[in-house]
Structures are given as structure tokens and as C-alpha cells.
Amino acid sequence: MSEDALRRNFGKAHALHVDALTRHLVECRRTCGGDLDLFLVLMIIGERTFTPRKAPSAMSHAEFVERSVDTLEPAAINLQSIADYSGIPRETVRRKIEALVARGWVRRDERRFVTVTDQAKDDLLGLTESAIRYLREIEAALAASQLD
């Protein structure tokens, strides 16, 4: 969709986006015990573990679910980088990382860099499905707004 078409049909596309994103964020919050900062810290670590630049272009959903995160080449990220990027206070990020480590969703290496684990991938399959629903709804919203 061109930027011009998106601007012309922005009201409907925006409303559909907010609707879909809200449902997805509610599911994310529920999964993280009501703690969206915990979710955000996890997503930042996850994005660095499975970076868009290094993600296989032809990876299917089944391959994503079955593949171990240990086969990925993560980009380095640590507590301070997460705090700087997110704007979440450093001490809060530290507590969130501790909570994620306790859940088995994140691990630290000897340099204190953090990555997500296979347990996180497995435990959060419901959020993966929620993300698929969100992306489908966005795709449909964008397709519908091209018809105008």
C-alpha cells in the first residue's frame, strides 16, 4: 500500500490496527501476570535473540516453533542497553530480567548478555498465535483500505 493510499484511508486502517493491537496487548499482559514492562523487556531481548536482519526469510511457522533458539546467532544486549533503549529505569529492568531468568525465559552469559530460551518460546506459543491473529487482521485491514 502506498503512503498516499494509507493517508487517504487512515481512519479505518488506524481503527482496525488499534483494535487488533489492543487485543494482542491484552493477551501479552495476561501472559505476563499483568506486567507490560516485563513483556516489553522480554520482547527487546527476544528481538535481539531473533533479529530481523538474521531471521531466515523462508522460515515457516512450524520451523519457528520447532527450531531451538540455541541455533540462532543473537545480537548482544545487556541490562543497560535495554534501559537506554526502552526508557525503563535501569533498576526496573534489572528486576524484570531477574523475574524472566526465574521463569526460565531468559538466560545470561558470562559477559552478562541476555538471550531468550527455548522454554520462553515453548511457554509463549499462545502469544505466537496471538501475533499471527494480529498480523492477519492488519493484513486484512490494509487490503480493505486499498479498495477505496
Q: What's 52's DSSP letter?
A: T
Find the angle CA(123)-CA(63)-CA(21) to the nearest 5 degrees. Answer: 55
Written as nine digits, the cell of 21 is 493491537
Contact status, residue 20 vs residue 137, Cβ threshold 8 Å: yes
Task: Please give the single-letter amino acid code of residue 97.
Answer: I
Contact status, residue 124 vs residue 115, Cβ threshold 8 Å: no
pLDDT at position 5: 78
The CA–CA distances, whole Å, from 101 to 6, 67, 104, 107 equal 41, 21, 5, 6
Written as nine digits, the cell of 141 is 485491514
The residue with cell 535473540 is: 49
Tell me: the pLDDT tens digits for 34-63? 999 999 999 999 999 888 887 877 888 898
Q: In which band, very low, low, confident or very high, does the pLDDT at 147 lie, cut at 50, 70 and 90?
A: low
Q: Which of 36-40, 68-72, 97-101, 131-135 has the lowest mean pLDDT?
A: 68-72
Q: What's 19's DSSP letter?
A: H
Strand residue runs (E) in the chain: 106-108, 114-116
